[in-house]
Amino acid sequence: MSKIKEVVQTMMRTNFKFDTDVKILTVTDISSEKLGNEFHQALHELGWDSSIAVMKDRNKSGEEPDDVILEEMKQNEIVFCITKHSLTHTKARKEVNKKGISVITMPGITEDMFLNGAINADYEIVEKKTLEIAEKITEHKEVEIKTGKENKLIIPIGAREGIASTGVFANKGDSGNLPSGEAYVAPIEYKSNGKILINGSISGIGLLKKPVLLEIKNGKIEKASGEEGEKLLNILNGGEGTTLAELGIGTNYSARVTGKILEDEKAHDTIHVAFGSNHTFGGTIDANVHIDCVTISPEINWLK
């Protein structure tokens, strides 16, 4: 049995608690087609009713798939998205999920990530830690993130509830990332103020050569330092794209920071802030983009 097939077999046994004897679709794109095909073939050879759909690459995370792909997603009970850019924060994912279809997004996953790191975590531990942090988010109205002595960002979350992305899917229709391990929330729009130093990675850019200092005023990026800060602003494309959309806290002790945001944002001792759409998880912003920015070893202060 190939290593990928072994991982798929273990994943389907340990990460899914409901009956997976259902129709499964793997959505992939041109950039990820090789791995997407290997994943689909592993499912097929292991006995699942598996099919595959290939689309053109999206230009950025949060961009919608085309209508043909959306219709194929609706014809299955589990959809795996092995794509270059994330489909997590799209209307399509939300629409399909409302029909009771599980959508498991794996944006930017590589063969290395498939075989090593976060995918091999003890997900009982990940689940417990993630639920604890999600509850902590729910119990507090503001979070203060300190990155160095001079950089402080106050993020109001009000009565919004923390969401646990545990990587364990207990019921049909449950969705999320794999690998996983994060608790996150949609902050109150246009209320966050301060500065945060991004010293890990940025979705669509990768590992940072130099930390990027973001200055946020009334919930929007006002300044972003350096060449990679300029790249971030270009990806977000102004307007609502620059709105602070998410605060997430990594809970997976096996996750590494390698420049691949799918794993980076799950790493223990990291937080991430994202900009753009959050309408898919309790916010109000629909910007057709969602870009995560990871910071390693921040100081987190919980405010009532």
Residues 216 and 290 in one domain: yes
Residues 10 and 50 in one domain: yes
Task: State how beta strands 23-29 and 49-55 pair.
Answer: parallel
Here the tokens at position 40 are 């689909």
Q: What is the pLDDT of residue 2?
A: 87
Beta-carbon count within 10 A of 149 CB = 6
Residues 34 and 153 in one domain: no
Cβ–Cβ < 8 Å for 228, 294:
no
Q: Which domain holds residue 150?
A: 121-303
Residues 94 and 162 in one domain: no
Residues 199 and 214 in one domain: yes
Here the tokens at position 120 are 């091999």
- Return the CA Rg of the chain: 18
CATH of the domain at 78: 3.40.50.11840
Residues 110 and 131 in one domain: no
Q: Could you read off the pLDDT tens digit of each residue along the chain, which spans 304 residues?
A: 789 999 999 999 999 999 999 999 999 999 999 999 999 999 999 999 999 999 999 999 999 999 999 999 999 999 999 999 999 999 999 999 999 999 999 999 999 998 999 999 999 999 999 999 999 999 999 999 999 889 999 999 999 999 999 999 999 999 999 999 999 999 999 999 999 999 999 999 999 999 999 999 999 999 999 999 999 999 999 999 999 999 999 999 999 999 999 999 999 999 999 999 999 999 999 999 999 999 999 999 999 8
Residues 111 and 143 in one domain: no
DSSP string of the chain, one letter each residue: --HHHHHHHHHHHHTB-S---SEEEEEEETTTHHHHHHHHHHHHHTT-EEEEEEEPPPSSTTPPPPHHHHHHHTT-SEEEEE-SS--TTSHHHHHHHHTT-EEEE-TT--HHHHHSGGGGS-HHHHHHHHHHHHHHHHH-SEEEEE-SSS-EEEEE-TTPPPEEE-S-B-STT--EESS--EEEE-PPTT--EEEEEE-SEETTTEE-SS-EEEEEETTEEEEE-HHHHHHHHHHHTSGGGGBEEEEEEE-BTT---SS-HHHHTTBTTEEEEEEE--GGGT-----S-EEEEEEES-EEEEE-
pTM of the entire structure? Answer: 0.91
User: In this structure, is the dihedral angle defined by the CA atoms of residues 170, 175, 180 and 184, taken in order, positive or negative?
Assistant: negative
Domain termination site, one of 118, 148, 172: 118
d(CA 282, CA 297): 27
Residues 227 and 84 in one domain: no
Domain count, the chain: 2
Residues 222 and 131 in one domain: yes
Residues 245 and 290 in one domain: yes
Residues 20 and 158 in one domain: no
Domain termination site, one of 84, 118, 152: 118
Residues 137 and 232 in one domain: yes
Q: What is the pLDDT of residue 300?
A: 98
Domain termination site, one of 90, 118, 146: 118
d(CA 3, CA 19): 24
Sheet holding 49-55, edge to edge: 49-55, 23-29, 78-82, 102-105, 176-177
d(CA 164, CA 182): 6
